[in-house]
Each structure stands twice: as structure tokens, then as C-alpha cells.
Amino acid sequence: IDTGMNRQGLTLEQAAALAQAPDRLRGLDIGLVLSHLGSATQPGHPRNAEQLAAFRRVRDLFPEARASLSSSAGAFLGADYRFDMVRPGISLFGGGPEERPDPRLRAVATLEAPILDIRRLAPGDPVGYGVSIRAEHATRVAVVGAGYADGVIRAARRSGKAWAAGAHRRIYIVDMDLTVVEIGDADLHPGDMVELLGPHALLDDLAAAAGSIAHECLVRLSPRAERLYVERALAPI
């Protein structure tokens, strides 16, 4: 049911017309009434309450069906929004319900890549294509073996952070197959792994650096990135 996103689903009027047409309902097994919130990442937005009220009206039209309104963000708005079923997505991977890190959640997806080379830069040295990105001071950088062909969002350059040797490291550039990360005097060597996404390089932080959302950071991960699925028992928070 479209309760206000104007994207998919029956309108409220169409749902009411269907509920009042026994001849049409006779051939349907309606087990679930479903809608989606458009502003759940902003808990105080009035649109949430408006959609909730609209959804309640529609649910009453199909009392035998289960009801589901909320995905990850909506589930955090409170019990009124959860109904019979919620559809957690991004928060299963650690993405915050308000598009920022949330201490109640743990990172699940981790993207790591090895250091291929370490180079020294002098002040003003350009990094990568063009000359718009330059070293601001003498430093060392690590050339990491993953780039936007693997799913690292190119727009995260300059302000994005990777994690290596126990600290956040600035991402200088993201090319097709390589990412260059400033490491200063850190004790790092070719072959050492750099966390580009994970428990330290948080999903929502990467998304913010790229001007995007956590969902895009995950769905961009390409088949070229090797998948390793680990089953782990986690203590409750």
C-alpha cells in the first residue's frame, strides 16, 4: 500500500475499493498488508506519523492479514511502527537507523585489501590522476589493492578513512584497482591488510564521506571482491 512515498503500491482509495469488492477478494489470498516509510531516518519528521495513521486505516480493511510497515529505520521508531513483522535490512550489517553510526549495532560486513607498495611523498606532490590532490606535508602513503572496481566508492577520496595499524588513515584517492591511504610513520609493510570497511572503518562514516548512504556502499561491492562468510556467536549487547 502506498501510504505517502508515491512510488509503489495501491493507493488508499484503491485498497478501500478492493476491500469492498467481495467478488475480487474471492480469488485472492491476502496474507500480508505492506507499506514503507519514506522519512524513518528522521525520527521527528511528521511524515512518519502521517504514514502510520494511513497504514492503520488500511490494515483495518484487511483484518485477517498480517501487517508490516517498517524496515530498519522504522523499527527503531517504537513499538507502534512494528506491527506483526519488520523488515530489517541495513541495520543487520551495522548501518545506523539515522544514517550515522549507532552504538547499539555492530558492523558485520568487512572489506579488507593488502598493501601493495609504500611510497614517500614530499609537500606538494600530486597523488593519482590530475594535480588536484596533493600531499600537504612530507608523509608516507600505502597503495592498497582495491578500488572502485571492487566497490570502494570513488567519492570517498579526501575525506574517507581506512583503518590500519590501530588507527584511522586518510584516503587520498580511489582509482579503479587501487586506493592510496596516508600512513605517516605507522609500522606498515607490503602485505599488511587495510580495513576499508568494517568494525573500525564504519559503514555510515564511509557513506558520509562519499555523500551517499550505507546501502550504496554495500550493494556496490563487486563480484571481484572475494566473499568469506563467517558464522560467529555474538554476546547480546
CATH code for the domain of 18: 3.20.20.10
Label the pairing between strands 32-34 and 179-182. unpaired
Residue 77 confidence (pLDDT): 97
Residue at 46: amino acid letter: P
Residue 23 confidence (pLDDT): 87
119 and 54 in a common domain:
no
In a domain? residue 86 = yes
The three-state secondary structure class of 173 is: strand
Res 27 pLDDT > 90: no
Res 237 pLDDT > 80: no
Q: Which residue has the higher pLDDT, 39 or 237?
A: 39
* Residue 197, φ and ψ in degrees, nearest 5: -155, 135
CA atoms of 148 and 151, how far apart (whole Å): 5
Rounded to 5°, the CA angle 46-47-53 comes to: 95
CA atoms of 210 and 132, how far apart (whole Å): 17
Rounded to 5°, the CA angle 64-67-69 comes to: 160
149 and 70 in a common domain:
no
72 and 17 in a common domain:
yes
Rounded to 5°, the CA angle 71-72-76 comes to: 110
Give CA torsion, residues 82, 83, 89, 92, to 10 deg. Answer: 60
Residue 212 confidence (pLDDT): 94
Residue 235 confidence (pLDDT): 59
Residue 231 confidence (pLDDT): 77
From the list 199, 201, 192, 196, the residue with the least C-alpha distance to 222 is 196
* % of the chain residues with pLDDT over 90: 88
* % of the chain residues with pLDDT over 70: 97
Res 217 pLDDT > 80: yes
Residue 183 confidence (pLDDT): 97
Q: Which residues contact 106 (CB under 8 A, 6 or more apart)?
A: 94, 199, 234, 237
Q: What is the mean pLDDT of residues 158-184?
A: 96
How many domains does the chain fold into?
2
Q: Which of 92, 123, 141 finishes a domain?
A: 92
Res 139 pLDDT > 90: yes
Q: Which residues of 179-188 are buried (b: 16+ CB within 10 A; e: fewer)?
A: bbbbbeebeb
CATH code at position 160: 2.40.37.10
Q: Are the beta carbons of 194 and 163 closer than 8 angstroms? A: yes
The pLDDT-based confidence of 66 (bands split at 50, 70, 90) is very high
Please give the biggest Cα pair distance in the chain: 78
CA atoms of 95 and 21, how far apart (whole Å): 42
Q: Which domain holds residue 173?
A: 111-219
Q: Is 161 exposed, middle or buried (0-12, 13-18, 19+ CB in 10 A)?
A: buried
CA atoms within 13 A on the CB side of 69: 29
Q: What is the mean pLDDT of residues 225-231?
A: 87
The pLDDT-based confidence of 24 (bands split at 50, 70, 90) is confident
88 and 125 in a common domain:
no
86 and 115 in a common domain:
no
Residue 234 confidence (pLDDT): 60
